[in-house]
Amino acid sequence: MIARTILKVASQIPWDKVIELAPSVAERAGTLWKSIKSKNKRQSVDESMVYTSYSTELSESEMLKARLERLEERVGSLEEQLQASAGLLKTLAEQNSSLVQRIELHRIRLIRLSLLFAGVGTVLAGMIVYLFIR
């Protein structure tokens, strides 16, 4: 029952398109991984770029620096998450490509075995008919 459902679902999948697109998906995931990996680590903001007025109090300046540090830490953690996500995408694309190749191999084996059993069945049926006629 379960095998019939699996075969029904598998027969409705457009395997020709899946097989055709699997290498491009893997290639694009690899490209994404390389582009994210090659990006420079976050660039810290130069203190000369931060505008602080001389008339402001020291506590405001310290608050701005603390806020800037928190934002830099947050950007760093987001970049790490982005790299982890890209690595995961690359791994999933490679696994998808491998699975598609295995499925195609099993599909071909199934066709060959079906033809073999049909041939054997035909020979056996012919032998049975021959024995009854004789």
- The structural domains of the chain, ordered by start, are 2-38+54-106 (1.10.287)
**What is this structure's pTM?**
0.45
Statement: residue 104 has pLDDT above 80: yes
Q: pLDDT per residue over 65-75, tens digit each?
A: 888 989 999 99
Closest CA to 88 of 96, 98, 76: 96
Q: pLDDT category, 55, cuts 50, 70, 90?
A: very low
